[in-house]
Amino acid sequence: MILDYALGFAFVCFGLGLLICLWRVVFAPSIPDRVLALDTMVVNMIALLVLYGMYYGTGIYFEAAMLFAMTGFVSSVAYAKFILRGDIIE
Amino acid sequence: MVIDILISALLVIGGVFGLVGSYGLVKLPDLMTRLHAPTKSSTLGVGGVLVASMLMGIVAGDLSWHELLITLFLFLTAPITCNFIAKAWIARNLTPQDLPPTGTPRNWATLDLTEEPVLPALTPPGQPGRPS
């Protein structure tokens, strides 16, 4: 009962955070801001996947969340490296 | 019943921290301050949700350690991303005059875009000792 309300609240919070990040990706003052917003989107998405798994009581979504956590930062680092040096693998 | 309240409190705290992290991304004035919001607040929010998920697994009778693994990866990778974005910002916006001196003959590595020679030098092609 109370758990359902708390789950709904967490869904709303992280969904709103995802929307704010999307707004930031589109209207960003500089390019590193865009990379930062994309990285935050990955973090919010991991939380949403875990919440979805809790809501339906299955363990499948944890595998997806773990894959996100393992590989999500690679793209951010690659973007930042490209901004930094103009090349990814020197 | 008590553990339900505990899980709910963790979920609410995690959700609030996640929302604050994303809102700080828009609200804060400058990129160097904006880096703090996602790397600290959002990571803490996700951590709260993951701990709640672990407690829910204990209630259901099967304790899984995947959540701790996700937390470990997040706590390892968020500072790396933050560091790289800060370096990119320094490279784009600052000159060596804006930064404190390094105290060595070399300049700041982030601002030093010259190609360094490989040491020890590779054997030139055609010489003995060169693999190809």
Instruction: Write out pLDDT tens, residues B63-103.
Output: 777 788 888 888 888 888 999 898 888 888 888 788 888 78
Is the distance from CB of A65 to CB of B74 less than 8 angstroms?
A: no
* SS3 category, B30: coil
pLDDT of residue B109: 74
Is the distance from CB of B96 to CB of B107 less than 8 angstroms?
A: yes
- The complex's ipTM works out to 0.88
Between residues 40 and 79 of chain B, which touch chain A (CB distance below 8 Å)? 42-43, 45-46, 49-50, 52-53, 56, 60, 64, 66-67, 69-70, 73-74, 77-78
How much is the average pLDDT of B23-52? 90
Domain layout of chain B by residue ranges = 2-97
Is the distance from CB of A83 to CB of A31 less than 8 angstroms?
A: yes
Cα separation, A7 vs B105, whole angstroms: 56
CB atoms near residue B47 (< 10 Å): 21
Contacts of A68 (CB under 8 A, 6+ apart): A42, A45, A46, A49
Cα separation, A50 vs B20, whole angstroms: 19
Which domains are present in chain A?
2-85 (1.10.287)
What residue in B sits closest to A52 (Cα-Cα)?
A: B53
Among B81, B106, B96, B84, residue whose Cα is nearest residue A85: B84
Where residue B116 falls among pLDDT bands split at 50, 70, 90?
Answer: low
How much is the average pLDDT of A44-73? 88
* Residues of chain B found within 8 Å of residue A81, distances taken between Cβ atoms: 84
